[in-house]
A = this chain, B = another copy of it.
Amino acid sequence: MTTETKFSVALFGAGRIGHVHAKNIADHQLTQLKYVIDPNQTAAQQLARTYGAQVVTEEKALEDATVDAIVVASATPTHADLLERGLLANKAVFCEKPIDLSISRVNDCLSAVLGASAPLFLGFNRRFDPAVAEMKRRITAGEIGDLELVTVVSKDPGALPIEYLKVSGGMFRDMTIHDFDMARFILGEEIVSVTAMASTLTDESIMKIGDIDTAVVTMQTATGRIAVITNSRRASFGYDQRVEAHGSGGTLRTENVAISNLVQETEAGVRREKPQFFFLDRYQQSYRNEWDHFVRVLAGQENPSPTGEDGRRALLLAEAAYASWKSNKVAYVDYELEAAQ
């Protein structure tokens, strides 16, 4: 019988998304969950027990030389700090988005780890959706010729609690951030200018905290490619997540994933099932594929993608969207790390 070598992983955060990663770590043949760290001891214990892991302190996890990688799935304000400490401790880092809601904190953080030799992966999981990944592969293979237009439709299934929204950083930083990354990923060329129109239509309490819930953001690259994002905080029928790429030779688009493929035909019409409602159901496979990629990064077979820099650039686009929205003008994006500091 052969000895199996597995990468040892410490997981920070035993909440909803922590559970997703814990299961994927345990299910993967090449990784094992060694430590769970969470200020909520009960949650940490419960998750650790399910997968045969130990509950330890942050310090213990980061000092343990046998830990190969850390997964940062804790509260947003802790991300940048853990990311820095993990990389400086020479551990591969899988960090949930965002690095931070403040662009200056993100700039500082990424400057601090510029020389780190361990890899940093940022969890924009939607790139790993099978349909999106295959779309990107076909665009790269030239199957729709020269890319010209990218359309991202992204609507949440329903209003989030106002307490969550208050600390979310605002819709562009909290929700559209995924779509900015998607636009960058599909375009394959850097965005130079951004315009945004936004409204608050779904809930008066969102207006009271100065946030928005409905928006269209349009972006352009240096060669004139255009991307457009359509957002709403509330699609009453389910999670509405579609991407469309239009090129000189055709288009590629993803459709929503239905709860099941049942069709009912009656006098009332032809009724199909609604899209999946909950993002953890909808992107279950994406989270799994994302972990597969990270394991190949650990094995030295692939470079991490998206990286921390991708996270920073998506946040810069969110900043530009706010700037355009507030000034009623096109906003231009400067990606220089120093310039931004």
Q: How far is the CA of A331 from the CA of B40 in the complex (A)?
A: 52
* Neighbouring B residues of A261 by C-beta, 8 Å: 131, 254-257
* This chain's copy number in the assembly: 4
A248 part of interface (Cβ distance < 8 Å): yes
Considering the complex, give the chain B residue whose CB is closest to the CB of A52. Answer: B52
Q: Is the Cβ of A214 less than 8 Å from the Cβ of B218?
A: no
Contact with B along A249-275 (1 / 0, CB 8 A): 111111111111111111111111111
Q: Is the Cβ of B143 less than 8 Å from the Cβ of A264?
A: yes
Task: Identify which of A57-65, A169-177, A230-238, A314-322 touches chain B.
Answer: A230-238
Q: Is the Cβ of B237 less than 8 Å from the Cβ of A155?
A: no
Q: Is the Cβ of A237 less than 8 Å from the Cβ of B260?
A: no
* Neighbouring B residues of A218 by C-beta, 8 Å: 195, 197, 216, 218, 228
Q: Is the Cβ of A199 less than 8 Å from the Cβ of B214?
A: no
Q: How far is the CA of A228 from the CA of B232 in the complex (A)?
A: 13
Closest-CB distance, A221 to chain B (whole angstroms): 9
Q: Is the Cβ of B264 less than 8 Å from the Cβ of A138?
A: yes
* Neighbouring B residues of A134 by C-beta, 8 Å: 260, 262, 273
A220 part of interface (Cβ distance < 8 Å): yes
* Neighbouring B residues of A202 by C-beta, 8 Å: 148, 248
* Neighbouring B residues of A193 by C-beta, 8 Å: 197, 328
Contact with B along A306-333 (1 / 0, CB 8 A): 0000000000000000000000111000
Q: Is the Cβ of B266 less than 8 Å from the Cβ of A237?
A: yes
Q: How far is the CA of A31 from the CA of B173 in the complex (A)?
A: 42
Contact with B along A180-208 (1 / 0, CB 8 A): 00000000000001010111111000000
A76 part of interface (Cβ distance < 8 Å): no
A224 part of interface (Cβ distance < 8 Å): yes
Of residues 115 through 157 on chain A, the ones whose CB sits less than 8 Å from some CB of chain B are 129-131, 134-135, 138, 143-146, 148-149, 151, 153, 155
Q: Is the Cβ of B263 less than 8 Å from the Cβ of A249?
A: no
A246 part of interface (Cβ distance < 8 Å): yes
A45 part of interface (Cβ distance < 8 Å): yes
Contact with B along A217-228 (1 / 0, CB 8 A): 011100011101
The 3 closest A-B pairs by CB, nearest first: A250-B266, A199-B224, A131-B260
Given A135-B262, A235-B265, A268-B271, 8 more pairs with CB closer than 8 A: A131-B262, A148-B214, A149-B216, A218-B228, A234-B248, A250-B264, A270-B274, A329-B330
